[in-house]
Amino acid sequence: MLRYLLVLYFLNVVICNAPPTVTLPSGTVEGFIGKTENGQEIFKFEGIPYARPPVGDLRFEESVPPKPWKGVWKANTIFKCMQYNHYSPEGPEKVLGDEDCLYVNVYTPTVDTKAKLDVLVYIHGGAFMFNHGGQTLPDIVLDRNVVFVNLNYRLGPLGFLSTEDQYVPGNNGIKDQMLALKWIKDNVESFGGNPESITISGMSAGGASVHTHLISPRSKGLFSKAISQSGVVTNAWVFMENPLNKTQTIATSVGCPIDVKKDMMKCLKSKPARQIAYAVKNLQVWLYNPFSPFGLVVDKWAKNPVFPEHPYQLLKKGLVQDLPWITSFTSSEGLYPAADFYFEDYLEHIDQRWNEVMPYILHYNEVAADLDDVSARIRTEYLQNKPVSKQTFPQFVEILSDRLFIADIVAATRLHASAIKSPVYSYFFNYRGAHSKTEARILSTENIGVSHGDDTSYVFKTLDVLSTKDDRAMSKLMVDMFVSFMKTGKPNVTDEWVPQSKKQSDPWVQLRIDSPYKLHKEEKTSHLGNADFWHALPLKENHNLEPQDAKDEL
């Protein structure tokens, strides 16, 4: 009898600890068991293919669904796409990752197909140049009984190279995201998710990607709600200027001919991917700036374009998905990339060579006819010609915040809100916790502001955000925001938070978050990225903005 009971006990242990498996149309996937921050058991499936490997003849081509596989796919590996990474916590190696990288990671508390849990998808940032989906962790958000999915997409020249015609239309990294979103829509029910309740989210380039999917006709029907943290599709660094010229620069760098596009692309497909990724350094003139030499294009020459027109034109025409949306920015957005320059020698170098380096730092090197004139106007507006130093570092950060993030986030949010019936909410994050994204960059714990990306950490644990009582409270607040929005389309963290007005002439309204215990509605008519200054500069991109009478309202 005792032997029988022991057998039953050990059989039960084996069954309870057996790895989870899910059968999909493409094959069977085996994951593994993990735990959330509070000790809840969850199932992890890391590295499920949503596309065929984009290698060989598929390099620079639009991604296609994977072929079915036989046997069991072991989903226990985090992949990253090949990238030239100017900053890597993994060591000094500049080229990281693999060309075979189009995978999703799925985290769920159940694989019961009847569970119908709300689904949160995260699209990583990194200027369309670096990072990977697996950097965001499920440890906190999975305690709320939701399904969490993150994904990879091709980066840099391997994901965004364009010949400005049918050879390589461009936007392949975005098309990767679209295929991943379709895969999630088609398969998430097998992981306990509700395909009719998918919220897509992202920070920086991920936020701009989310905005892209709200606007592009190709993404219609793939999700139901959206969150863009610190990035919209109209930010100055999102769209790529002179894409063919950049393609030719990469081709020349790796020894390929450039006179005939067909020959150039055939040669580029034959070169080692690492050489192509490394050639990005030839487009980053000062340190790693401009930090996003490859990005999106208005691919009107494509058979099925991501953007048949510039997003501003589509927004003005109201040709966007009518879905609830959250946008946000932090109080010191410009600490990316300014924190990298928080050293006396860099600041002195910027001060002495202002006209030379600022066009690259601020991404107007290809959109201004008179670079010196624009550079001088910026310096006068913000520094009154004072030297760049640690004393004027806050003003320097403000320049980067306004130009690279806030002015266009505000303008795009207002225009988008006026184009749809669904609510558009915005928040302003001003809480500096025990840690910040800046620490790894300035090599110090000194508090120099609330950085680009700090708010994301409280949801996806990209920093140690649970070390203090206040940080744990902030994490709870941010996760409450996300989960309530996922479930209802309204972020239920305070009754004070109301959506943006449909009238662009009304004040900007945002939830100001100073601490987990101090948050309130804030209405503003000025100090919103100094948009009037930036949008009046003689920059090529400003031709896409509203007419002058409407622009003044921004």
In 497-531, which positions are buried (b, 16+ CB within 10 angstroms) versus exposed (e)?
Answer: bebbbeebeeebbbbbbeebeebeebeeeeebbbb
Specify the 3-state DSSP secondary structure of 330. Answer: strand
* 26 is a catalytic site residue: no
Question: Is 363 a known active-site residue?
Answer: no
Tokens read off for 42: 């969850």
**Considering 63, 162, 201, 204, which one is annotated as catalytic?**
204
B/e letters for 385-401, b = 16+ CB within 10 Å, e = fewer, are eeebeeebbeebbbbbb
Contact 101, 86 (CB under 8 A): no
| Strand 117-123 to 193-203 pairing | parallel
Task: Say if residues 239 and 541 touch (Cβ distance below 8 Å).
Answer: yes
Cα-based angle 184, 323, 503 (whole degrees, multiple of 5): 155
CA 438 centroid distance within chain = 18
Query: Which one is catalytic: 62, 333, 398, 541?
Result: 333
Q: What is the DSSP letter of 219?
A: G
Handedness of CA 292, 294, 295, 296 (dihedral sign): positive
What burial class does residue 26 get, using C-beta atoms within 10 Å of its C-beta: 0-12 exposed, 13-18 middle, 19+ buried? middle
Amino acid at 456: T
Which residues on neighbouring strands pair with residue 29, listed in sequence order? 22, 73
Whole-Å CA distances, 316 to 241, 298, 322, 480: 22, 16, 14, 33
Please give the backbone phi and psi of residue 249, each rounded to the nearest 5 degrees, phi first: -65, -45
Spell out the residues 6+ positions from residue 445 whose beta carbon is closer than 8 angstroms to its own.
Answer: 435, 439
Q: Spot the catalytic one: 124, 213, 452, 535.
A: 452
How many Å separate Cα 230 from the centre of its chain?
8
Structure tokens at 35: 């735990």
Which pairing describes strands 508-515 and 518-524: parallel, antiparallel, or unpaired? antiparallel
HEC profile of 1-64: CHHHHHHHHHHHHHHHCCCCEEEECCEEEECEEEECCCCCEEEEEEEEECCCCCCHHHCCCCCC
444 catalytic? Reply is: no
d(CA 62, CA 141): 32
Catalytically annotated residues: 204, 333, 452
